[in-house]
Amino acid sequence: SDDVNDFDNCKNVVAFKHQQTGILHCYHDKRFEIEKALSSFRVAIQIDADTRIIGSLPETIEVLPGITAGHQANLVKHVEKYNPERLKPLKQIASKLDIPLDKAIYIGESLVFVSRDGGKEKEFIKQWGMIGRYFELKGIHGGEGIILGLAAAKAGLTISRSSSWDRINEVKKHLDASHEKTQKTFWDSLKRKLGYHYNFNRARVAALKDFEFYYR
């Protein structure tokens, strides 16, 4: 959080200071919370912020090594159906990273378990950051399920589904806050625009350190 004091009265929350690194959104910043959780625990459960738990959670959760997710699909077919304009950069980065797209899986990101897996999870986090930045510099700021699938394929993480995932999914309600229209003041809009250009230029300069990967 950019303001850890917001959680002073939440005894079940461990808050850490974090500033946005994503160019437009914080979608790919989720990797930092997963990385932080895995530094202390065997399993990290990522659930979207605009989600409410409306029932009882299971007392025990079975989690396999790697990634556990419910919404899975062939990555190329998913992109062709929902985001065909992303097919070109998808193929470009798959070629750069030598990822066989015929075996890559789209991972629905609203509820995901990530477990320690002999260090593969660390490579997954690293690849998520690189691939996410590559797409952002191409003007693609959403759809992290595509990036999760590519990063998992590159890191060699197993993607599975478990009854525990199903049980948690049954008691959650996704509010789709990103589709809600909110009134913004002039200063809110100006701050967002300035933040975007600052983050974009900072990312472009940082990417020069790996010019061949990001710009060729």
Q: Going by C-beta distance under 8 Å and a sequence separation of 6 or more, which residues neighbour residue 113? A: 43, 44, 45, 46, 61, 63, 67, 68, 69, 162, 164, 165
**Residue pLDDT, tens place only, 61-100:** 888 899 999 999 999 999 999 999 999 999 999 999 999 9
Residue 164 confidence (pLDDT) = 92
What integer best gives the mean pLDDT of the chain? 93
Q: What is the pLDDT confidence band of residue 188, given thresholds at 50, 70 and 90?
A: confident
Percent of the chain at pLDDT > 90 equals 83
> Tokens for 84?
């065909």
| Distance in angstroms (rounded) separating the CA atoms of residues 179 and 55 | 24
Predicted pLDDT at 181: 66
pLDDT at residue number 20: 93
Find the mean pLDDT for residues 181-206.
89
Q: What is the mean pLDDT of residues 126-130?
A: 98
| Sequence-ordered alpha helix ranges (H) in 83-208 | 87-97, 120-137, 144-155, 163-170, 186-207
Checking if the pLDDT of 182 tops 80, the result is no
Residue 56 has pLDDT above 80, yes or no: yes
Average of pLDDT values for 132-148?
Answer: 96
Q: What is the mean pLDDT of residues 16-20?
A: 94
- Judge whether 200 and 100 are in contact, CB under 8 Å: no
| Beta bridge mates, 177 | none
Query: What does the pLDDT read at residue 153?
Result: 97
Answer with the residue of higher pLDDT: 15 or 183.
15
Residue 118 pLDDT more than 70? yes
Q: How far apart are CA 2 and CA 191, in angstroms?
A: 15
| Residue 175 scores a pLDDT above 90 | no
Over range 13-40, report the average pLDDT. 95
Contact 173, 50 (CB under 8 A): no
* 130 has pLDDT over 90: yes
